[in-house]
Structure 1
Amino acid sequence: MRILHTSDWHIGRTFHGHPTLEALAEVLGALTAQVREHAVDVVIVAGDVFDSATPSGPAYTLLSDALLALHETGARVIVTSGNHDSAARLGFQARLLRDGIHVLTDPLGIGTPVTVTDAHGPVHFYGVPYLEPAIVRQHWPLADEGVPLRTQAQTMAHAMGIVRDAMSEHEGRSVAIAHCFTAGVDATAGLEREVRQGGLDVVPIDVFAGLDYVALGHIHGRQRLSDGVRYAGAPLHYSFGEQHKPRGSWLVDLDANGLASVEWLELPVPRALVTLTGTLDEILSDENVRAHAADWVCAVYTDELPQTEPMRRLRERFPYCAMVQHQPAVSAQAVERTYSERLRTAVTDSERIEAFLEHVRAGQGPSAHERDLIREVLDERVRAEALV
């Protein structure tokens, strides 16, 4: 059986204020062509189908068009919900979809697989939607050994316990689809929202032991945690922090014994992302313009002083300049050293707050009015603590 593993479409997301629906439609069209070219049997979309819990009308239209196009290739399509999706809104039309398109959003359905049969027998697909402990606790109030579910690790372990129970009743190969942050991944800083990288919300990889393949979503860059546990990443670049990460999906082959091979299929990038660093005049050079006039540009100019109307000047040369940052090389280093030194030597909370403000404001501390507010807040905290 041949499976295409994709995830994190984030339909409706903007890129620095620019809509991405048209670009995403182009990429999903290329993905559909790959499904037809490689004779894919099952397409998996592992969560974060939408970027918002309240998608716009055009976002629903794009999803419907994409699912129908994939279905017309002859492939089965299995979709699960992620943390950005509203499970209710994504799943409300599940029963109205044509045979062969499965939208799995109900935690209570985790133990009921979607079964697809090939020449070697059945393959059971277990869809695990994003599980927020505070929400699913109502379904499993005392999950394992009477302990309430409080973390993603506990919740996913309980869900996979349900999957294993179901696996014991359904002979054949098994594939799980989940949306979570698994130990060992490399996330894009500031991008994967609601990902808690330290501590209890990291799901151990051994939670997924025993399956033939685990298709994960939530991380926007491709990741191989083991041969059979992988993230596909997002089909579009949604941040300059992702610019060097390839876009694509995993082509997974199962034989009679389980996982046979996994191949990466590249997807086209409608508009490349580039970060240009240097003085503003260096960034605006003819050489840069020739190379990057058609790209999304993040300009980081290092002039000692802020320049006049940098975005206007940049967009005259780079029509798709999306972001500009002023990072003076020398003064930034000096401020960083000052911040570290002041934090080490700070004695009072007010001194720490002043050091922080100077750090984020490139050397400018609090005004007289702000000092009064800081003192008032700190005094109020002391009074409150005295009453406890």
Structure 2
Amino acid sequence: MVATYNIIIYLYTKLLALAALFNNKAKLLVKGREAQVVKALPKSLWFHFASLGEFEQGRPVLEEVKSKYPDVPVVITFFSPSGYEVRKNTALADAVYYLPQDTFKNARQFIDSINPVMAVFTKYEYWYHYFKQLHSRHIPLYVISGIFRPGQVFFKWYGSLHREMLKMVTWFFVQDIPSKHLLQNLGISNVTISGDTRFDRVWANAQAPKALQHIAEFKNGKKLFVAGSTWPADEALFTQLINQHPGWRFVFAPHEIGDSKIAGLEQTLSGILTVRHSNIEALNEQTRVLIIDNMGMLSALYQYADMVYIGGGFGAGIHNTLEAAAFGVPVIFGPNYQKFKEARDLIEKGAGFSINNQEELLTTVNRLMANEDLSNAAAQIAKHYVDSHIGATNTIMSYIIDKHPLL
């Protein structure tokens, strides 16, 4: 099985190099890995994140560990450019790298260089050679905010290598009871139900959000609809909604902000007066839509929203609904949400609404707009849902401090 895994990694490396010829994201990853020089450290605390979303999810634990052990360097690795490029200069780390491709040689050399005294992986990302190196060196490996579903490879007849990886983890901190039961069915008992650290992150953000004066000025006492992390399939649904509600203002924060992507959104909304955030001085009373063409604003944008749409539900899956829910806002999203427990919970409680097409978007929004009691109830439920689920970071830190009192 290891030989098959190595072949897959080798083929993936070749395909990634080919993709880098015409895909900017692949190019950033390939060039970033080639250019980086990993500096030797006497010891470190290693945090790995797949992408930016996992960084924000694991950030509360990262901040607490750094505060508790300020003299130990922190190394952060990312798999995706969307995480690395945004957080490569974060003050929370002493070094930030792309995770080198998962080979025996790379894993050995990387861990030799950074000398981690413990490693923390957030939610997922299971890499055989890195896990094997940590395990063989008796370096504690923690998976935080883990979540497991029966359809995952770990629970398939062909998933023996992945099950082996699970058994290399020192301790799992999982989001829910079903995840713990699935691991227990594999004979894995080193599990704590801690909850999801994202709740701690979004709750903290909602307590002291960054003020965005130009957004307040754009809203100017009117109702504001924020569409966050949208893709073209999401954006195509909105023209009629915007035209039906001239008293509302709309902000789009697309998931991808390249010039061609923003131009595509502008074309989709042709006939509606739009302004890019980079041209904020062009805002006037007739502007209906503000398009955010930079990174890092979305989590603060939600404080001004009266209603929110979260993108991704017509593709691989919806993006972060909790950032908006933490501010007490009704949340709408597309049909592909089943893998996200928080989305299922929000729907069940009446604070989240899934739509399948433009007609359902119009119906849902119009119903919420017309029924203030329904909208207010959804907002209160969303906020209470987040407030009642904080605490995962404290659970995880209690364990880490107990096991590593002096580090």
TM-score, scaled to structure 1: 0.30
Q: Which has the higher helix share?
A: 2
Select the structure of larger CA radius of gyration. Answer: 1
Q: Which has the higher strand share?
A: 1
